[in-house]
Amino acid sequence: MMTKTELAPAAKAGLGVLGLVQVVFAFLAFWDLSHREADEVRGPKAAWVPAILVNWIGPASYFLFGIRR
C-alpha cells in the first residue's frame, strides 16, 4: 500500500521525462545564445543567462522574445 508521499512508478517516469525535456530546452537556449552575435539578441546576452535558468519560462521567453527576427 502506498502512502500519500509516494509516487507511482509511471508518475516517477513521467516526471523524469519532463525534467529531461526541461534540461534539453535550457541547453538549446544556452547553445543558441552562445552562437548568436550580440546584435541578434534583444538586450545584453549576459542578462539572458540567469533568465534561461528559470524553469520553462526562461528558455521559452528567450526563444519568443530574446531573438531579433
The 10s digit of each residue's pLDDT in 1-50 is 566 778 899 999 999 999 999 999 999 999 999 999 999 999 999 999 99
Contacts for 8 with CB less than 8 Å, ≥ 6 apart: 2
pLDDT score of 6: 87
Q: How many CA atoms lie within 13 A of 48 on its CB side?
A: 26
Q: Where are the domains of the chain?
A: 23-66
Burial bucket for residue 66 (CB in 10 Å: 0-12, 13-18, 19+): buried
Q: CB-side exposure of 25: number of CA atoms within 13 Å?
A: 19
Phi, psi of 62 (to 5 degrees): -60, -50
Determine the pLDDT at residue 7. 86
What pLDDT does residue 63 have?
97
- Looking at residues 48-66, what average pLDDT do you find? 96
